[in-house]
A and B are shown apart, each in its own frame.
Chain A
Amino acid sequence: MAFSVAMRNPALRILFRNSWALGVWLLLGALVLWYSTLIPVFGPFQITSITKNSLPLVYLAIGQAIIVISGGIDLSLGALLLLSNVIAARFMAGQPLPTVVLIALGIVAGLALLNALVGFVITLSGVPDIVVTLATGYIWSGLALWILPSPGGGTAPEMRWLFTGSPSGVGGSYWPPLLMLLIPGALVAIWSRTTRVGLSLYAVGSNKTAAQLAGLDVRRAKIVAYGIGGAMAGLAGLAMVALTGTGDPRFAIGANATLNSVAAVVLGGVALTGGVGNVFGVVATGVTLIMLNPILIAMRVDSNNAQVIQGVLIAGVMMFGGLVAFLRERRS
């Protein structure tokens, strides 16, 4: 068969193996195209706007994807984003650039260690991920309020430029946000598919016992996955402070972010049962979720209906994925 011939070609094989990720990127392309017909002008301003506003969700979704692939789920990622956001806003305000950079690195490294510790506690205690991270999520949200009781603080213009392409946060070049969107996603995706530790996440998430019997370090895999999740949440909080120029400790922001990260992961073809999925796909679905809102507004869909449509879309894509899996089972 022509198909099996194609499978022997390595390039085509990679394409087939990542067909869901490819599909969501094409879907995003189609949405951007559609959006560009709904508005009078589509240019650099719009590209910058879409990419920079997607950054927090995309980072959070990458972190969530890695954790879900390793067989866990982290409901505290949104709260970690809040924590990163308020620490950055409170301590970066009015500081010189070197201090700001140090604080940024410290936040990413610190939250990575903090969440790795949570991963360690999960493996040690055997308490389900969802329970532990629900609890830690409340702790981080409380801490965030304690650090910054009400919206305020600030950051350096250079920091804002890095994530938004402009020192003021609006209307800058689209290259910095575009690169900040693609590079972390690509790095984590390549790392997860080519390194020994990265691949062990898939093995552990797919079948923990088999992975253990095969001699893989299950505990290390989980700790690493949660550590990456923490680092990405730290990055998301930095992106948020760059977007608004202030910190905001409100609980709802973190809770929304967590839910959206799970939605992006699910849409991106990462199975919630673990072991399946491509991290680079969730970059596209993160942007897609951000794009839905302007498109629905442009179509004059009432806000109350917009949420329903968003939910129906997620359910529809998921049921489509289920149908594909069902057909596969029946064929084989």
Chain B
Amino acid sequence: MKQRNRIYLIGSVLVLLALLVGGCVAPAPGAAPAAPTAPAAEAPAKEGGFVLGVSNTLVGNAWREQMICSIKAQARASGLVDRLIIANRNAGPTEQIADLENLISQGVDAIILNPSDRDALNAVLEAAIAQGIVVVAVDQAVSAEGAYIATNDQTAYGRIGAEWLFETLGGKGKVVEMRGIDGVPADTDRHNGFLEALAKYPEIEVVAETFTNWDPSTGAQQALDLITTIEIDGIWTSGIDYTVVEQFQAANVPFVPIVGADNNGFVKQLIELKDQGLIGAAVTNPPAIGAVGTAIALDALTGKNPERVTLLTPRLFDNVNNLEELKAIYAPDEQPGWSTYVDIEPYTLYNGSADVSACKGPGE
């Protein structure tokens, strides 16, 4: 009993010493002694040397990874950013609040976040804004007062693609709507846009509606089932596109007009399969919204007073009228799931997919 206690005691002291020593000999890069900084709220617009904080709560998702890389590329290309502090983990609002408080503690000049909840983060965001930190919510909105918001217009995404499809079909025919995840705001918005377009074309009939859960293999299976069993004149997809096109080839069924997103694999098909009768349109949903948010944050920091709300209207490239543009955005070196539309005028400063794909922030 005595021996055991002694060994426990010695053990815990050793752990403690090891940690203390570890902490002392290996200070973090850029660690500074606790020196009070001037309150940012009263600080005049600076010229540069900013520290940006980034908060994201979905890891292992290609779109979100590209969003983070676009923030890095933009921060690097701007030349105004000294350092990016990135809080990136799978988490809910509770953890994101902790991450945001940590970014405030780190003394960042601006925070760019993809919010995990519209309302739950408001208190911490408003606390940051009160300290003079510029807050930009990208991809999804927050209701915090004083925050900048940069999002892709998801309603327009649904409407623009659907209108192109219905027009291409001559206003008449049987279509399939392949949606994303039921209940997710972006899916609801896109569906509403789809319905807006549908209302204008009374002779278009929706013969099937599926939820792909934005999963390529799920969407492929649904597409295969549909094209081999019922008669279809056109397909609208919520971005699960290239695996759907592959099913036409696998089942040896003639192509029908199809709407997808600006996924690299789909763009490639639109270019290469045009001769074999594939007609389609890519509607953009750029993860480079992260870079747009970064540009807005830097504009706000340098006193250029950007707009509070930036709603990016998607662009549509079809392989009938815009083949050259499709060829221009196609990125042969990237994965099929890569979003090819990365250069967003007038915000982005980097140069094309290669810069974003390098995923290097300032000083890296």
Contacts and interface: CB of A to CB of B under 8 A. Distances in A.
The judgment on whether A and B are partners is: yes
B119 interface: yes
Given A4-B2, A294-B105, A41 B34 contact: yes
Given A36-B34, A331-B3, A245 B106 contact: no
A146 interface: no
B90 A252 contact: yes
A24 B127 CA distance: 32
Interface string B8-31: 110111011001100100011111
Interface residues of A, number: 66
B7 interface: yes
B38 to A, nearest CB: 10
A150 B36 CA distance: 42
Interface residues of B, number: 56
Contact of A23 (B15, B94, B117): B15
A23 B5 contact: no
A58 to B, nearest CB: 13
Contacts of A327: 7
Contact of B59 (A19, A45, A303, A324): A303
Given A46-B105, A294-B102, A306-B89, A19 B94 contact: no
Given A37-B33, A37-B34, A297-B87, A331 B7 contact: yes
A98 to B, nearest CB: 24
Contact of A248 (B11, B16, B92, B122): B92
Interface of A: 3-4, 7, 16-17, 19-20, 22-24, 26-27, 30-31, 33-34, 36-42, 45-46, 49, 53, 56, 149-151, 166, 168-171, 240, 243-246, 248, 250, 252-253, 256, 290, 293-294, 297-300, 303-304, 306-307, 317, 320-321, 323-324, 327-328, 331-332
Give the secondary structure class of A's interface. helix
Given A49-B98, A170-B97, A170-B124, A324 B11 contact: yes
B262 interface: no
B98 A53 contact: yes
A248 B117 contact: yes
B85 interface: yes
Interface in B66-109: 85-90, 92-95, 97-99, 101-102, 104-107
A3 to B, nearest CB: 6
